[in-house]
Structure 1
Amino acid sequence: MQVLGRLLLFLTLICAGSHAHRIINGKLAPEDSMQFMVSVQSKTYHVCGGFLIKEDFVVTAAHCDVNLTHVILGEHNLKNRNAKKININNKYKHSSTVSHDIMLIKLDSGAPIGNNIQTIPLAEKNMNLEDNQECFVAGWGKTEKSNFVVDDLRVVNVSIINQKVCKHNWTHLPNNVICAGGFSTDKGFCQGDSGGPLVCNGKAVGIVSFNKKENCIYPNVPNVYTDVRGYVDWIKDNLKKGMSPIYWG
């Protein structure tokens, strides 16, 4: 695995977890949708979500770097034998800093882009998000009816929360984050969904990062995502450099 920039978020009493985040009050994702979704795995189990941005690069959360070995893509059901398994390149270096919860994973080989495997475009740096704008988040995490991660991809609509409101409800909120879901709603993510994308207007705008530890039904604070818009140049630079170990900062 070559991880081009590993950036960790260390926050007390806050955790997306190594088996991070579940979809709360969502529904099964349609079979012909969200072909960019990736299950990032360690040996035989799901660790986090992620999303394909190039045939050989996946974006996920930095805190998901827990003995990762491969990714699964091309199927909403992780047990389906038609799902494509691609190993993560194991020749990598990494660096970590506080509060930038984003990781770029290099795959051993390119994913076969086609009907059931697609990439998702990144949000532009200047893409505008409006308060209460409806977006969605998807993942294989736990549900309100399960204490275990699920086999079938689930999705839920969430609304963008005003940044001032979010900062007021979080004592320590990092820079470059987006808040959506949780708070005064009954929808959002929880353990098992970390690393998955927040999608607005068909583009990956955020990365599932953290909520209030283990409190998913439902926290009195907003869900927090890494803001992809703040890392677009960093991502594109690393894609151009391919296997070169380029660090954040």
Structure 2
Amino acid sequence: MIGLQKFLLFHLLMCLEQNVLGSEIIHGEKAPENSMLYMASVQNNRGHVCGGFLVSEDFVITAAHCEKNNLTRVVLGNHNLKKVDNNRHRSVVKKCKHPSYKTPASGNDIMLLKLSKKARLDNRVQIIPLPRTDNKLKDREVCRVAGWGFTETGGKVVNMLRAVDVPLVNLEVCKTNWKYISFNLPPNVICAGGYETDKGFCQGDSGGPLVCNGLAVGVVSFNMRKICDYPNVPNVYTDISKYLPWIHNILKKKTC
């Protein structure tokens, strides 16, 4: 029976690259309107597909794997996607995908989106600061992830932004848990939630930030394909601190 379970999980992981949309928030709560003002809904012509977060007046960070969804615009300053203020729309004029990105499973799952017009910073829209290159995170430190994704496996995206607190998972523990199901984690990742807790992200949350002590330290990348029935293996985020020179170069030049 254990051998069969490992085979099935391995098969699911091999499909990971074919259908990763990120995740929605599991066992979370609606985010207060005056909180997380950096959150962005990354959309195509059909609506929300990924999360993101504002890091300058010109740029939003999201996951590189979101590019396959034909992204066209970003919505800022709206926790409720049914009540979108048209003044908060920004077209996406350039997609700065990390040059080494191939698949979520191989890592480097990070992308900057250049906005058509600068965001207006006010009581509804704000920038979130990034960590330092020597950023230190503590095992089991409680951080926060948010998004408009599914609230259960096989569900659908929601209109109201939801958030949940998730504990960081030691990277070696995370690697061991993923390796047990025959998957080697890519480099430059952070693990949080989904393991030893019933909280984490799900489909539709990709690209959103993992926020620790007010800093955006991670980007939602992947979980066990479409399985958000936690606890299972830890959720995986791109470690922003490992990409700061590349990010700051783009923000400085305002192009890629």
TM-score, normalized by the shorter chain, greater than 0.5: yes
Q: Distance in 2 between matches of 1:220 and 1:93?
A: 30
Q: Distance in 1 between matches of 2:195 and 2:215?
A: 24
Which stretch shifts more, 209-218 or 85-94? 85-94
Q: Does residue 67 of structure 1 match 2:75?
A: no
Q: Distance in 1 between matches of 2:22 and 2:82?
A: 19
Which residue, out of 131, 134, 138, partners 2:139? 131
Contact 1:16–1:213 at 8 Å: present in 2 too?
no
Which residue, out of 212, 223, 238, partners 1:226? 238
SS at 2:55's partner residue? strand
SS at 1:187's partner residue? coil
**Backbone CA RMSD of aligned residues:** 2.0
Displacement, 1:123? 1.0
Which stretch shifts more, 212-221 or 84-93? 84-93
- The residue aligned with 2:79 is 76
> Which amino acid is the alignment partner of residue 37 of structure 2?
Q
Q: Distance in 1 between matches of 2:218 and 2:94?
A: 26
- The superposition leaves residues 126-177 of structure 1 with CA deviations (integer Å, 9 ceiling, x where unpaired) of 1110000000000000113981100000000000101110010112101100
> Which amino acid is the alignment partner of residue 163 of structure 1?
L
- The superposition leaves residues 49-107 of structure 1 with CA deviations (integer Å, 9 ceiling, x where unpaired) of 00000011000000000200000111100111326111000587884534200001101
Q: Distance in 2 between matches of 1:240 and 1:180?
A: 31
> Which amino acid is the alignment partner of residue 37 of structure 1?
M
Which stretch shifts more, 11-20 or 126-135? 11-20
Percent of residue pairs identical: 55
Which stretch shifts more, 96-105 or 70-79? 96-105
Q: Does residue 166 of structure 1 match 2:174?
A: yes
Which residue, out of 109, 116, 120, partners 2:117? 109
Q: Distance in 1 between matches of 2:22 and 2:119?
A: 24
Distance 1:33 1:93, change over 3 A: closer
Q: Distance in 1 between matches of 2:238 and 2:18?
A: 12
- The residue aligned with 1:149 is 157
Q: Does residue 29 of structure 1 match 2:37?
A: no
Q: Distance in 2 between matches of 1:16 and 1:224?
A: 17
Displacement, 1:213? 0.6
Contact 1:211–1:219 at 8 Å: present in 2 too?
no
SS at 2:143's partner residue? strand
Q: Distance in 2 between matches of 1:16 and 1:25?
A: 26
Gaps of at least 5 residues in structure 1 are 1-10
Residues 179-198 of structure 1 mapped to structure 2, 5 A cutoff:
179-198=191-210
SS at 1:169's partner residue? helix
Q: Distance in 2 between matches of 1:17 and 1:28?
A: 27
Contact 2:143–2:166 at 8 Å: present in 1 too?
yes
Contact 1:15–1:212 at 8 Å: present in 2 too?
no
Contact 2:132–2:241 at 8 Å: present in 1 too?
yes
Q: Distance in 1 between matches of 2:213 and 2:18?
A: 25
Distance 1:17 1:197, change over 3 A: farther
Q: Distance in 2 between matches of 1:174 and 1:146?
A: 26
Displacement, 1:196? 0.1
Distance 1:47 1:138, change over 3 A: same
- The superposition leaves residues 13-71 of structure 1 with CA deviations (integer Å, 9 ceiling, x where unpaired) of 43594543110000000110000000000013111000000011000000000200000
- The residue aligned with 2:49 is 47
SS at 1:238's partner residue? helix
Which stretch shifts more, 101-110 or 14-23? 14-23
Which stretch shifts more, 116-125 or 79-88? 79-88
Q: Distance in 1 between matches of 2:15 and 2:231?
A: 13
Instruction: Report how many aligned residue pairs link the two structures.
Output: 234
Contact 1:18–1:63 at 8 Å: present in 2 too?
yes
Which residue, out of 207, 210, 219, partners 2:222? 210
- The superposition leaves residues 191-240 of structure 1 with CA deviations (integer Å, 9 ceiling, x where unpaired) of 01000000000000000000101110125200000000101111001111
How does the TM-score come out when normalised to structure 2? 0.86
How does the TM-score come out when normalised to structure 1? 0.89
